[in-house]
Chain A
Amino acid sequence: DQQVKQNSPSLSVQEGRISILNCDYTNSMFDYFLWYKKYPAEGPTFLISISSIKDKNEDGRFTVFLNKSAKHLSLHIVPSQPGDSAVYFCAAIETSGSRLTFGEGTQLTVNP
């Protein structure tokens, strides 16, 4: 049962344009969501998070949007840079829980 899904295995964008990565979830008990970035041969690193009481959180070039009614969140990167090329994982956690549930990841490639 895949509770967090990232339906796009890959995304390719031009440098300077916007990258939009999407994530859907099915578990209504999830109330905190995170995005991680992963480079080859490294572990995932935290990027940005959002609580279910918000619908938007911004940090520099990165913005996460949450649509609770649709059980959907997205990560926007503006402007995209070649150094953003990595695998991006969406993750979610329940209020009472301790484990992060991850999506399958999306490989973002930003072309110069």
Chain B
Amino acid sequence: DSGVTQTPKHLITATGQRVTLRCSPRSGDLSVYWYQQSLDQGLQFLIQYYNGEERAKGNILERFSAQQFPDLHSELNLSSLELGDSALYFCASSVGGRGQDLYGYTFGSGTRLTVV
């Protein structure tokens, strides 16, 4: 157990629907990062929140949004889902706002989203 909790582990939904992925960071970590891993591809950075505020943004689609709540958990909202959105979505956390914390990020086990 890495200490980063992601729910649900699996999600199957239809095209056009909206889903919410949830992440609880490791205790004491202020930053939350979201990554997408499509089939046979590396992890693509989506967005980072630090202590409730958006810190950095990657190639996140306009149909996707995220937020970090006062208790530091984060949610990634995916709307108007398309078949191509099927992927593994990972959340990671770090103590500070930069990934150069001693051990980089700590990852959760991911949410596998399947859009049918």
Contact = CB atoms under 8 A, between A and B. Distances in A.
Interface string A41-79: 111111001000000000000000000000000000000
A4 to B, nearest CB: 8
B99 A99 contact: yes
A99 B90 contact: no
B108 A43 contact: yes
Interface string A97-112: 1111111110000000
Nearest to A100: B99
A93 interface: yes
Contact of A43 (B2, B44, B103): B2
A34 interface: yes
B18 interface: no
Interface residues of A, number: 26
Contacts of A49: 103-104
A105 B48 CA distance: 22
A105 B42 contact: yes
Given A43-B2, A43-B4, A100 B104 contact: yes
Among B40, B43, B90, B97, the most chain A Cβ lie within 10 Å of the Cβ of: B43
A21 interface: no
Interface string B56-76: 101000000000000000000
26 contacts: A32-B99, A32-B100, A34-B104, A41-B109, A43-B107, A43-B110, A44-B43, A44-B107, A45-B2, A46-B105, A49-B104, A89-B42, A89-B43, A93-B99, A93-B104, A95-B100, A97-B56, A97-B99, A98-B55, A99-B33, A99-B58, A100-B33, A100-B104, A102-B35, A103-B42, A104-B40
